[in-house]
Amino acid sequence: MHIYSFERLEVWKLAKDLCVYIYKLTSRFPSDEKFGLVSPMRRAASIASNTAEGSSRMSKKEQSHFYTIAFTSTIDLLNQLIISDALLFISVNERCESRMKIEPITKGLSSLKLFSSPNPKL
C-alpha cells in the first residue's frame, strides 16, 4: 500500500488524533448544541484535512495558504474548547488535555508555514 507524503508528517498525525478526540468529546454535548458548538468544533477539527491538502500543493504559496487555514482552524477550535469549558460541557481535565494536544500542532503548523513560504525568513 502506498503511503502519501502527508501521512509521514508528525503534525498531520497529531491533527488526525485531535480530530478523533474532538468527535468523541462533542458526541457527549447536549443535543441542542448540535448546531451550536458541535458543528463548528467538528468543522474546525478539519486541521488534518487542510494539512494533507497543503502538502499536495505544488507551489509554496499554495502550501503556505493551506497551512495557514489549518493553523487558524486550530486557534478557532481552541476558542470553542474554552467556551465549552465555561459552559461546563467539558471537564477541567478535558480542557487541559485538549490544550496539550493543540500546542504541538500549532508549533508544527508554524514550522510548515515558515518553510513553505515563498520568502522564508530564516
pLDDT at 37: 94
Share of residues in the chain with pLDDT > 70 (%) = 95
The domain that contains 15 carries what CATH number?
Answer: 1.20.1440.60
- Per-residue pLDDT at 117 exceeds 80: no
pLDDT at 119: 65
| Residue 92 belongs to some domain of the structure | yes
Give the Cα separation of 47 and 2 in Å (integer).
Answer: 22
CA distances from 27 to 58, 62, 75, 76, 89 (A): 37, 34, 21, 19, 11
| Residue 77 belongs to some domain of the structure | yes
Residue-wise pLDDT for 2-45, tens only, equals 999 999 999 999 999 999 999 999 999 999 998 899 999 999 88
- Per-residue pLDDT at 122 exceeds 90: no
DSSP symbol at 60: H
| pLDDT confidence bin for 86, thresholds 50/70/90 | very high
| Residue 107 belongs to some domain of the structure | yes
Per the rule left: phi > 0, alpha: psi between -120 and 50, beta: everything else, 107 is alpha
Query: How big is the CA angle at 39 (ends 102 and 14), to the nearest 5 degrees?
Result: 25
> How many other CB atoms are there within 10 angstroms of residue 14's CB atom?
21
Confidence (pTM): 0.90
| Residue 122 belongs to some domain of the structure | no
Taking residues 50-69, report their average pLDDT: 93
Q: Write out the residue range of the structural domain in which residue 18 sits.
A: 5-116
Instruction: Cell 468543522: give the residue.
Output: 43
Q: How many domains does the chain have?
A: 1
